[in-house]
Amino acid sequence: MSELNSKVDVSIAGTGSYVPERVLTNDELASMVDTSNEWILTRTGIRERHIAAEGEYTSHMASHAARRALEQAGMQASEIELIIVATITPDTPTPATACHVQQQIGANRAVAFDISAACSGFLYAMKIAKRLISDGAFQNALIIGAEKLSTVTNWQDRTTCVLFGDGAGAAVLRRSQPGEGAIVATEMGTDGNLTHLLEIAGGGSACPITAANVHENLATLSMQGKEVFKHAVTRMKEAAEKVIERAGWKPEEIACVIPHQANLRIIDAIADRLAVPNDRVFVNLDKYGNTSAAAVAIALDEANRKGAFHRGDRIVLVVFGAGLTWAAAAIRW
Ligand code: ACO
């Protein structure tokens, strides 16, 4: 799905993120399953991840990130008109986690709903919010990627449990004000033929968790890692190229690429194929692992606060996840 030109520019006015306090290191994982720090580090680039406390829900992490984004934007929660939370680990199947966030931060005027697009969710939310703002339906929006993946991780499966972590990232979008940048181009894609490569098979209407199957680990993530890896490289490269071309940019003009944080080898492969130098590609998966919808949002916030790009710079976000889904955005900061 491609971007059509719209007259009203939409900018990112503020970003925020949050990760829980508890750090789970590779060495600790090695005492839980048959793995090692060396295997995890060389195959993925991950050193540690953060794990939410028992009473800490996805909405709580989302609300922390949201408050930080609002603060940076210089806006009150009461001004927000739309909240979209991208998550595959909502507090409850219904109501939406976005409704809890609305209540927790006091965004009483906001329309609030969730979307489910796995690791691609934050950029799906960005596209939806951008369009709703540029169409005039809303003045602004709070978009959030938030996950408590520790609740859908099979802690006995070494092929997946070393990969994931918990956290949240948020951004405030609004009609561009003088001197602000714009979301210049976006791209989204889905291939529903490949749903089986990465899924949580149970817990939905297809396979409810019952007393009979409760021990089968059906409500946890399973993945055919090698296959997912190949598709991730191809789809992210294509999506990034499309938004760069649509924006009319050259790769050497891009100040920062912020990819989905799943595997350093995937990120390196994409940087090579896009001909963007590695030092312009933002990586923080060593600290957080793969936090699905939160990953690119946390990375955007960290890159922003670290000064990895400045007002007027050209940046590209690109993601990939279960579905299979993928998306990219070209942003003039
Ligand atoms: N520790 C030690 N050995 C392990 C571990 C582990 N944690 N996990 C797997 N192995 C073993 C395997 O059993 C296999 O052993 P064998 O050769 O004796 O059979 C060997 O290591 C190699 O396993 P592979 O699966 O081939 O390893 P690979 O190099 O492909 O790395 C990984 C696996 C990290 C999962 C990689 O395939 C990957 O990152 N895939 C993409 C993940 C991704 O991008 N997901 C995106 C979206 S996630 C979302 O939407 C929620």
Domain ranges in the chain?
A: 10-180, 183-332
Q: What is the CATH number of domain 183-332?
A: 3.40.47.10
pLDDT at 276 over 80: yes
pLDDT at 203 over 60: yes
The residues, any chain, with a CB within 8 Å of residue 181's CB and separated by 6 or more, are 11, 12, 311, 312, 331, 332, 333
Ligand 1 centre and the CA of 299: distance in Å? 23
pLDDT band per the 50, 70, 90 thresholds, residue 180: confident
Q: Which residue has the tokens 């998306």?
A: 327
pLDDT at 1 over 90: no
Nearest-CA residue for atom 32 of ligand 1: 225
What pLDDT is attached to residue 7? 72
Nearest-CA residue for atom 20 of ligand 1: 159
Q: What angle do CA 5, 117, 294 make, to 5 degrees?
A: 95
Q: How much is the average pLDDT of 10-25?
A: 98
pLDDT at 96 over 90: yes
Strands (E), the chain: 10-18, 22-25, 48-51, 82-86, 111-115, 140-148, 166-175, 182-190, 198-200, 221-223, 256-259, 314-321, 325-332
> Catalytic amino acids?
119, 260, 290
Ligand 1 centre and the CA of 47: distance in Å? 15
For ligand 1, which residues put their CB under 6 angstroms from it?
Answer: 35, 39-40, 43-44, 118-119, 158-159, 162, 198, 225-226, 228-229, 232, 262-263, 266, 290, 292, 320-322
Ligand 1 centre and the CA of 92: distance in Å? 30
Equal CATH topology for 10-180 and 183-332: yes
Axis crossing angle, helix 225-247 with helix 264-274, rounded to the nearest 10 = 40
Are 329 and 240 a contacting pair, CB within 8 Å? no
pLDDT at 5 over 60: no
What architecture is the 10-180 domain classified under in CATH?
Answer: 3-Layer(aba) Sandwich (3.40)
pLDDT at 3 over 60: no
What pLDDT is attached to residue 178? 83
In the structure, how many helices (H) and strands (E) does the chain have?
Answer: 10, 13
Ligand 1 centre and the CA of 156: distance in Å? 14
What pLDDT is attached to residue 215? 87
Choose one of 43, 147, 163 to mutate for the ligand 1 pocket test, by most ligand atoms within 8 angstroms of C-beta. Answer: 43
Q: What angle do CA 60, 65, 69 make, to 5 degrees?
A: 145
pTM of the model: 0.96
pLDDT band per the 50, 70, 90 thresholds, residue 29: very high
